[in-house]
């Protein structure tokens, strides 16, 4: 393996600041498990509403497959300009209570995962990172009319107690955030992750409610005061639009009511088991979900 730290360009003006030591780290890398567009919403909220200083940047030329997901560039009538280079960066942010923390953000690397993650682990050890937290949105057959469920994972059982609503066992496609969690735990560092359960029929839309939930979980775990007001306002608008679309489609109403029934039947019996299923029930199969999604999308097209 090539030197992992050769991927990193440090900001010499801040990297030795004692204020960076012993802070928490939030991982927000685009590209995987992003139902409801939770990661870009959280990233935009944090970088736009909190004081941010660049701590380090990574050599995206070595990490990104440009032909698999081409960067954007503007064509201005007769010439090209404003090429948008992919950027993977580490920031120091300060929350609303004056507490500093770290944010790793940008596109998930396509290449050299082991080398990139090793660099992250070495930075975390060098900065004595206290707790590393990640989050994601996963599409699930749950109703938008109930509180979002979450699966908590990591090395801190105390952060999952009373919160986790479903603990499945499954083989799933990996992400860089998953690998960061694995390698940091091997290095003896505390990690926690939140997989938020997004209604599958809203998974492709920007769903502010899931970003609010992510910020609430991160704030509680890390002891941070994170901004949610703008997202909550956007969420109220989205909720009104969803309610209008549901009211205009008997098919969607039946789907939502079925999910509500499953959710409500399971929730009182055992808060820790799946909120999707009642006793003896099984998950809807792919055909059921496809039919429900098709009905939802058809109603949207008709409304448009």
Half-sphere exposure of 217 (CA within 13 A, CB side): 32
- Here the tokens at position 51 are 């004081």
**Short-list 288, 78, 289, 83, CA closest to 202:** 289
Cα→Cα distances 32→29, 164, 186, 191, 199, Å: 8, 21, 23, 19, 17
Helix axes 229-247, 286-303, angle to 10 degrees: 90
pLDDT at 292: 53
Place of tokens 């992003």: 34
Distance, in Å, from the CA atom of 146 to the CA atom of 203, rounded to the nearest integer, reads 15
Element (H, E) at 89: strand 88-94
* Sole residue written with tokens 């909190």: 50
Mean pLDDT of successive 10-residue segments in the chain (304 residues)?
A: 95 95 97 92 98 97 95 96 97 96 97 98 97 96 92 95 87 94 97 96 95 96 96 96 92 91 72 38 49 53 53
Place of tokens 């960061």: 180
The reported pLDDT for the residue numbered 45 is: 98
The 8-class DSSP code of residue 84 comes to -
**What confidence score (pLDDT) does residue 168 get?**
86
């Amino acid at each position: 393996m090539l030197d992992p730290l050769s991927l990193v360009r440090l900001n010499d003006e801040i990297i030795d600041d004692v204020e960076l030591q012993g802070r928490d780290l939030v991982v927000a890398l685009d590209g995987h498990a992003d139902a409801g567009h939770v990661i870009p919403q959280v990233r935009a909220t944090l970088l736009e509403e909190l004081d941010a200083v660049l701590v380090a940047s990574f050599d995206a030329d070595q990490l990104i497959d440009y032909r698999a997901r081409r960067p954007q560039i503007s064509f201005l009538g007769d010439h090209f300009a404003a090429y948008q280079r992919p950027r993977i960066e580490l920031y120091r942010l300060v929350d609303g209570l004056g507490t500093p923390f770290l944010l790793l953000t940008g596109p998930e690397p396509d290449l050299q995962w082991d080398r990139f993650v090793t660099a992250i682990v070495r930075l975390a050890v060098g900065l004595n990172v206290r707790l590393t937290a990640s989050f994601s949105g996963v599409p699930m057959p749950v109703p938008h009319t109930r509180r979002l469920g979450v699966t908590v994972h990591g090395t801190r059982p105390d952060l999952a107690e009373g919160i986790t609503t479903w603990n499945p066992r499954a083989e799933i496609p990996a992400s860089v955030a998953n690998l960061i969690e694995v390698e940091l735990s091997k290095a003896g560092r505390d990690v926690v992750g939140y997989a938020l359960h997004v209604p599958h029929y809203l998974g492709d839309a920007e769903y502010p409610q899931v970003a609010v939930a992510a910020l609430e979980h991160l704030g509680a775990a890390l002891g941070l005061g994170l901004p949610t007001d703008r997202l909550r306002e956007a969420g109220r608008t989205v909720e009104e639009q969803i309610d209008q679309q549901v009211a205009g489609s008997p098919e969607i109403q039946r789907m939502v009511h079925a999910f509500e029934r499953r959710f409500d039947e399971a929730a009182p019996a055992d808060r820790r088991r799946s909120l999707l299923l009642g006793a003896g029930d099984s998950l809807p199969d792919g055909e059921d979900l496809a039919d429900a999604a098709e009905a939802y999308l058809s109603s949207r097209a008709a409304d448009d």
